[in-house]
Structure 1
Amino acid sequence: MTRDIRMTCTRYSLFIALLASIYSGQPMAENASLALPAQRILGSQPGTAHLPQPLSRSIISGDRLNNANAGAHISESLQQVPGLLALDRQNHAQDLQISSRGFGARASFGVRGVRLSQDGIPLTMPDGQGQPALFDLDNLQRLEVLRGPLASLYGNASGGIIQAFSAEPPLFPTLDNRSAAGSDGLWRSRLRYGAQYGDLNLSTNLSRLESDGYRDHSRVRRDTGNLRLGWDIDELSSLTLLVNSLDQPDTQDPLGLSASELRADRRQSVAASRLFNTRKSVRHQQAGLNYQRQVHNADQLTFMLYGGTRDVQQFLGFPGDNQQRPDGSLRPGSGGVIELDRSFHGGELGWERQTLLFNQPLQLAAGLTLDHQGEQRRGFVNLRGSKGELRRNEYNRVDSRDLWLISRWQPAARWELTAGLRHSRITFDSDDRYIADTSDDSGQLRFRRSSPALGLSWQWTPQLNLYGALGQGFETPTFQELAYRPEGTGLNLALKPARSTNAELGLRWQHQHGQLDLALFESRVRDEIIPGEPQAGTDRSTFTNAARSQRRGIELQLQQQLDHGFSSHLAWTWLDARFQRYRRADGSDLGGRQLPGIPRQLLYAELQWQAAGSGFTSALELQHMSRRYATDDNRADTPGHRLLHWRAAHRQQIGNWRLEPFVRINNLTDRHYVGSLIVNAANQRYYEPAPGRQWLAGVGLEYQWR
């Protein structure tokens, strides 16, 4: 332990010495923010969209955020981003499936491998599990998606970054309502108010979503509330308060279908979902505070605090009373009803300076991040939809400490070098408080990792930028993935963090009427975290490590403004993701097999027409996804599909009122397809079918006091 302390102190001393040596430089003449806090690294401020930075970056803003949709899921907008797979599972009990360049594709619920944040406040828990339902979709100004080696500078589980930024309130008090109804009993309505009062600005909204669901036993009701309060304290400092609330009671879970069940009735729920009344209730409250101050002309300090609570109760599709050992004997199970009582908090202190190095512009950002998550986990027997006997009781903690440094230097007029290092220490502790099974399953895991990244960009011409980047990242298992062993009870302490080495080459070409982005990338991963064998006697997933895997791909994004009010958008991804070395517990060698859940090709194409001066827009959207495998051995799969959607909207200003009716039809050709897969699911229930042709109609109404 003493040696570890000495090594840590040495690292931190070198880090501080480096800062001190550079701090003595002269301030930069330019005022182009590098970005603070850490959740906004690498030019995520407004107006920095075209900086020559060595990373893949997609921005969705303006009308592209709405696209005449229900505003129910962030996946509605993320379809437009290359390299990103965002799937609506038609199952609100399990949230969305989101992966970036294949990172996170294993997730059967929540988001893994991709970090989420809004206005600098993390929506990813300290253990690496993200909650996309927490995004404030009703007050968005823009979404930014970062991919590539430099994303590892965000720390644990940063295979990609999705950042949401709220819109500033209107100058005059504004009240608006947006309501929509659609197929399968879908109804969503939101009420929003925003205004500026001198140095204060206020935005707040409430919304409700209700749906019977496409499949049987998939009803949902979700209430959200959000508050953003900003205060411009003086010319040098500002303070922003964010409050988010989510209440989603008794959301039904139809579970996945097997191939035979899918053929028989794609809208059915499995018998176990009805027998055990599978469902999930979530209540989440979170608040965050951001303070920024310009200390000198060249220095800026940022202080961020956040915290909240999350309560979950989930009824699974089995009793969870006993587990059968390989020898046929029985061992007490961990329960088929899960109750989680979680609290979390964290903070970050950041510093930024603009100076000179060898008389060339240099920007520095550094900071310290602390995060904590505490969770009471209980497991009860599922008595056909009622909570039975206690079978598990433990308290789990995650503590994360990160120290980071990022710099951008312009050694010559058209060159820019970006370099960074993040050192992370993450500790998982579990205190077993259930002694009826006569075993103590307490345990601890500690992970330490430094993640370096380096990128170089060259502005070949004013319109064309070339770049390359290298970086190393890591991803710890989440507590949900550590929670269960293939046999027995207690944490799966054998599960290791995944480590990745990432490389990217790309170009960005901009012209008067459009933009083209092209990226070639490769990632090599050791100890890839993947779903393993289900826990004995249950449908519960457990997780294991694959020795080595590899991802190689191409991303292309093209935006073009055409004549006569037409515009086009194309996002295409080709991704080859496969195991390089992986031998399962049964001895089978899966080296060379494709990673499950990841399509080889993904395409989104759109042609939009906007009538000049009328406020009317209409668009056709094409989506293509190639074959995906559902298992590590590639024996189960789902074929590719192509979908065609249509939308239209009309915006009209009448005095202080603004009216916007809209309509959308998805899957115009009424194609039957599988929307999402549950990788390596128990009982071969891999498939979550998507709906055929669906309609949506709604109207937005806004009034502004002028």
Structure 2
Amino acid sequence: MTFRLLAAAVALALPAVATAQDVPRLGAMVVTATRTAQSPYDVPAAIDSVPTPPDGTLDVNLSERLQSIPGVTARDRQNYAQDTQISIRGFGARSTFGIRGIRLYTDGIPATMPDGQGQVTHFNLDSAERVEVLRGPFSALYGNASGGVIQLFTADGTEPPTYRVGVAGGSNGNLRVSANARGVEGPVDYNVDVTHFRTDGYRDHSAARRESGNAKLGWTIDDDTKLTLVLNAVDIPDAQDPLGLTRAQYRADPRQVAAVARTFDTRKSADQQQAGVIWDQRIDASNSLRVMAYYGQRSVTQYLSIPVATQVSQPGNAGGVVDLANAYGGGDARWTWRDTLAGKPFELAAGVAYDNQHQHRQGDENFVGTALGVRGALRRDEIDRVFNVDEYAQATWRVADDWTLMGGVRHSDVRFRSTDRYIAPGNPDDSGTVRYTATTPVGGVLWRAAPWAHVYANWGRGFETPTFSELGYRADRGAGLAFNLKPSHSNNMEVGLKLQPAETLSAGVAVFRADSDDELAVATNLGGRTTYQNIARSRRQGIEASFDDEVARDLHLVASYTRLLASFRSPFLTCVSAGCRAPDTPVAAGTRIPGVPRGLGYAAIKYGGERGWQATLDANAVGATPVNDLGTEAAPGYALFGLGAGYVFDHGPWRVNTFGRLDNLADRHVIGSVIVNDGNGRYYEPAPGRTFLVGVDVTWR
């Protein structure tokens, strides 16, 4: 169905909704789209806010909290050597590691680097209050690679103080132990959390351990001033990487690993520490100032399965061990003015953001003599730096009781510089610089057709630069980085309807389309190197729907559905084999973009109040997902069911939450995530069969 037909369907529904009884409802307060406290019901954009209290899940992967949000594909890869796989409306789906194409924040601090690549391993769910997701055109107000925005917010300290200890464990050696303390001492509130997680993994060679800590300290200096300090750290030592499987390997034994994973002991270690400080100052009744600064360090060492012969025969090969040392930081200063314009409420925010990443990238051989999977001779040594300076402004004006206008613009200046320190015969100097700039305007309008029915429309421009990973090699095998790659630019539009016909009932539908120029796609795969090219045109379009209602006392129903068609609109040439030296196989216009399922669905019925028996029955469905640009292979679609139960009781100052859960009740063998365009055809990452989880959370007040 085309975008025009979908938009017409929403328009035809408006006369019907305008005749029903008015039942106002106040939504949860959010800050995502407007960077100010405002109900999502009154924002002309698709926004969802999901609370994150402990709810009987393992509670270590962000994917556990995003299943109910339409438009979001979040896959737990069962591979802790790689990050959670997340895309929004098809943006970010091409990423084979890390998260690209969408912006990530924790407590307002970027988790996405200036080049557009991010990760969520340091997101601490045990201390979080909520996760917010913004989809559609207004994401462009966050700059480079903002196909969507995900923000995690740590809860403030509580009064009276609460202390919680939780333990959960189950199939495949999964174990999570966490401790949390929240409280208020005079003008200071605090939320401190430490979490230990380990797993043997569903597949062979997939064991991992993760230690993480998060602290949020708030100091209310006076009625107009607050200072917030956010600290977090994560350590993942030697997480085993089972790699993907071919279709034949998956069918033979979904728990196996590729032989080269054992041969080279593929694994990754990551260690990160980060600190951020936020100063909120109310200047007077109309003016306020917010200043944020952050700094962090992250080191990554990864052992790949690059064959010895490939490294020996190619002088320019970067080796089979990746060693990254990152220092990053930046800040954001924003002024906000709230008053009236022509007698109507008006709000203007303007600011400037600076982000910087300084990366020392080294590559070593993954062998010494006949010993494999060990660090050998140096093959790559460079200093990479990328930084951005962005200016932005946005305004919200309630021009009439039933109408609100919102608009904004952001100018982004992103600069890359690489200094090659490893120059040898057959490996020339790869140093170079490149600069990308873009101005991204957005605008939207919201009509209050009734207090319980709001209609909105918006439009915006977005852009995405190549990341340093994609700039790493030139497709023509020449010297230097691939600074010939262009940034992708997109035109995004959306029409939506938000309904709140009762205090406990909300629903919504949105139709959207994003047309992109210069989409990035794989050009070649050769000797462990993947190079990229620009594709003239691509399109992502679809429809989202959501429903949330307390259908009876202590009985809560949540459901969402997404229909999404993402396709290349221009033909191009690509590679289909690991030894491909130049694109030689045509991809027809209309071929689906890999990594994007055509349909997503989620539904859950939850029973229980604050105390007593709890129960949950949920279903999660994913459509078939293409895995390569050619569209010749796809991961089959599936539907999985889960069942949870527990009992919550109080004893004096203690609250005890016991819970148990069964996932994949039918014990189906499915492909949980995919590795798009894998040069060896190992596209598939199997998900576990039937699994169980049991646990207990004990809280003292």
TM-score by length of 2: 0.92
1:362–1:408 contact (8 Å) kept in structure 2: yes
Closer/same/farther in 2, CA of residues 75 and 593 from structure 1, 3 Å limit: same
Q: Does 1:395 align with 2:383?
A: yes
Match of 2:524 in 1: 533
- Pairing partner for 1:362 from 343, 346, 358: 346
Shift of 1:460: 0.7
Amino acid at match of 1:209: F
Q: Does 1:60 align with 2:50?
A: yes
Shift of 1:589: 3.6
CA distance in 2, matches of 1:220, 1:489: 38
CA distance in 1, matches of 2:650, 2:111: 36
Residue range with higher mean Cα deviation, 506-515 or 308-317: 506-515
Q: Does 1:339 align with 2:323?
A: yes
- Pairing partner for 1:664 from 655, 661, 674: 661
Match of 1:514 in 2: 505
CA distance in 2, matches of 1:484, 1:386: 24
Shift of 1:169: 1.3
Closer/same/farther in 2, CA of residues 320 and 284 from structure 1, 3 Å limit: farther
- Provide the secondary structure at the position in 1 that maps to 2:338: strand
- Pairing partner for 1:635 from 632, 656, 668: 632
1:427–1:447 contact (8 Å) kept in structure 2: yes
- C-alpha deviations, 1:39-82, integer Å up to 9, x for none? x442564xx334421100111115xx543101110100101100
Equivalences, count: 659
CA distance in 2, matches of 1:191, 1:672: 35
Match of 1:436 in 2: 424
- Provide the secondary structure at the position in 1 that maps to 2:168: strand
CA distance in 2, matches of 1:479, 1:626: 31
- Provide the secondary structure at the position in 1 that maps to 2:251: helix
Amino acid at match of 2:531: T
Q: How large is the RMSD of aligned CA atoms in angstroms?
A: 1.8
Match of 1:679 in 2: 676
Shift of 1:686: 0.4
CA distance in 2, matches of 1:498, 1:397: 21
- C-alpha deviations, 1:580-636, integer Å up to 9, x for none? 0031131514211111111111000111122x6743210110111111111111101
1:677–1:687 contact (8 Å) kept in structure 2: yes
- C-alpha deviations, 1:326-356, integer Å up to 9, x for none? xxx8443111101001100101111000122
- Pairing partner for 2:144 from 140, 143, 156: 156
CA distance in 2, matches of 1:680, 1:312: 23
Q: Does 1:146 align with 2:134?
A: yes
Shift of 1:362: 1.1
Q: Does 1:418 align with 2:435?
A: no
Shift of 1:33: 13
Match of 1:454 in 2: 443
1:650–1:661 contact (8 Å) kept in structure 2: yes
1:522–1:551 contact (8 Å) kept in structure 2: yes
Match of 2:5 in 1: none
Match of 2:531 in 1: 542
Q: Does 1:595 align with 2:586?
A: no
Amino acid at match of 1:42: T
CA distance in 2, matches of 1:34, 1:73: 24
- Provide the secondary structure at the position in 1 that maps to 2:117: coil
Match of 1:350 in 2: 334
- Provide the secondary structure at the position in 1 that maps to 2:530: coil
Aligned residue runs from structure 1 range 635-654, under 5 A:
635-654=632-651
Closer/same/farther in 2, CA of residues 589 and 74 from structure 1, 3 Å limit: closer
Q: Does 1:472 align with 2:461?
A: yes
Shift of 1:323: 5.9
1:320–1:334 contact (8 Å) kept in structure 2: no
Q: Does 1:407 align with 2:395?
A: yes
Match of 1:523 in 2: 514
Amino acid at match of 2:466: P
- Provide the secondary structure at the position in 2 that maps to 1:157: coil
Unaligned runs of 5+ in 1: 1-31
Aligned residue runs from structure 1 range 1-80, under 5 A:
40-42=32-34, 45=37, 48-61=38-51, 65-80=53-68
2:268–2:302 contact (8 Å) kept in structure 1: yes
Q: Does 1:385 align with 2:388?
A: no
CA distance in 1, matches of 2:408, 2:628: 37
Shift of 1:300: 0.3
Amino acid at match of 1:502: N
2:123–2:152 contact (8 Å) kept in structure 1: yes
Residue range with higher mean Cα deviation, 559-568 or 53-62: 559-568
CA distance in 2, matches of 1:137, 1:554: 29
- Pairing partner for 2:90 from 102, 105, 127: 102
1:148–1:504 contact (8 Å) kept in structure 2: yes
Match of 1:288 in 2: 276
Amino acid at match of 1:492: A
CA distance in 1, matches of 2:610, 2:195: 32
Shift of 1:123: 1.1
CA distance in 1, matches of 2:155, 2:386: 33
1:598–1:629 contact (8 Å) kept in structure 2: yes
Match of 1:16 in 2: none
2:60–2:124 contact (8 Å) kept in structure 1: no
Shift of 1:172: 2.5
- Pairing partner for 1:91 from 59, 79, 90: 79
Closer/same/farther in 2, CA of residues 418 and 133 from structure 1, 3 Å limit: same
Closer/same/farther in 2, CA of residues 454 and 461 from structure 1, 3 Å limit: same
Unaligned runs of 5+ in 2: 1-26, 574-582
CA distance in 2, matches of 1:463, 1:335: 60
CA distance in 1, matches of 2:684, 2:28: 46
1:33–1:43 contact (8 Å) kept in structure 2: no
Match of 2:254 in 1: 266
Q: Does 1:619 align with 2:603?
A: no
1:458–1:466 contact (8 Å) kept in structure 2: yes
Residue range with higher mean Cα deviation, 117-126 or 446-455: 117-126
Match of 2:484 in 1: 494
Residue range with higher mean Cα deviation, 597-606 or 491-500: 491-500
Shift of 1:393: 0.4
2:29–2:40 contact (8 Å) kept in structure 1: no
Match of 1:481 in 2: 470
1:541–1:681 contact (8 Å) kept in structure 2: no
Shift of 1:263: 1.4
Shift of 1:203: 1.3
- Provide the secondary structure at the position in 1 that maps to 2:180: strand
2:658–2:695 contact (8 Å) kept in structure 1: yes
- Provide the secondary structure at the position in 1 that maps to 2:172: helix
CA distance in 1, matches of 2:377, 2:286: 62
1:321–1:332 contact (8 Å) kept in structure 2: no
Amino acid at match of 1:643: L
1:106–1:531 contact (8 Å) kept in structure 2: no
- Provide the secondary structure at the position in 2 that maps to 1:95: coil
Shift of 1:256: 0.6
CA distance in 2, matches of 1:697, 1:81: 25
CA distance in 1, matches of 2:624, 2:155: 38
CA distance in 1, matches of 2:164, 2:661: 21
- C-alpha deviations, 1:155-196, integer Å up to 9, x for none? 111111111111111212322111101101111101111211
Shift of 1:211: 0.4
2:29–2:39 contact (8 Å) kept in structure 1: no
CA distance in 2, matches of 1:203, 1:66: 15
CA distance in 2, matches of 1:44, 1:272: 51
Shift of 1:537: 2.0
Q: Does 1:218 align with 2:206?
A: yes
- Tell me the percent identity: 41
- Provide the secondary structure at the position in 2 that maps to 1:72: coil
Match of 2:550 in 1: 561
CA distance in 1, matches of 2:28, 2:691: 44
- Provide the secondary structure at the position in 1 that maps to 2:483: coil
